[in-house]
Structure 1
Amino acid sequence: MSSLYKTKPGDTIHKIIEKYNSSFKEFEQLNDLKKFKLLKGQKVFIPTTNNSSIKLKELMIKNNETIDVFISKYKISYEEFKYFNNLLQLILEKNQGINIVYQVISPVANEFEDE
Structure 2
Amino acid sequence: MATVLPLPASSARREQEIARKGVRLQLTRRGRILLASLAFLAGILVALAGVLVLDVPSAFAGDAGTSGTVTVRAGDTLSEYAEQYAPEGQDTQDFVREISSVNGLSSPRITEGQVLELPDDAVDAA
Which one has the largest radius of gyration?
2
With normalisation by structure 1, the TM-score equals 0.38
Q: Relative to total residues, which structure has the larger helix share, 1 or 2?
A: 2
With normalisation by structure 2, the TM-score equals 0.35
Report 1 or 2 for greater relative contact order, CA contacts < 8 Å, sequence distance ≥ 6: 1
